[in-house]
Amino acid sequence: MRKLSSIAPIWAQRIKDWRMDLEILRDPKQCIVGEAWRYSNYYIVTCNKCEELGGDFYCCAHDSDPLHLRFMRTVQKFETHFSKEHLPK
Using one digit for the tens of pLDDT, what is the confidence trace for 11-20? 999 888 877 7
Structural domain includes residue 17: yes
Give the pLDDT of residue 50.
96
pTM of the predicted model over 0.75 = yes
pLDDT tens for 25-51 read 778 888 899 999 999 988 989 999 999
| Distance between CA atoms of residues 82 and 7, nearest Å | 8
The DSSP string of 12-58 is: HHHHHHT---HHHHHSTTTSHHHHHTTS--THHHH-HHHHHHHHHHH
Structural domain includes residue 48: yes
Give the pLDDT of residue 43.
92
Structural domain includes residue 35: yes
Residues of the domain holding 66: 4-84
Q: Give the chain's domain count.
A: 1
Give the pLDDT of residue 66.
66
Structural domain includes residue 89: no
Structural domain includes residue 27: yes
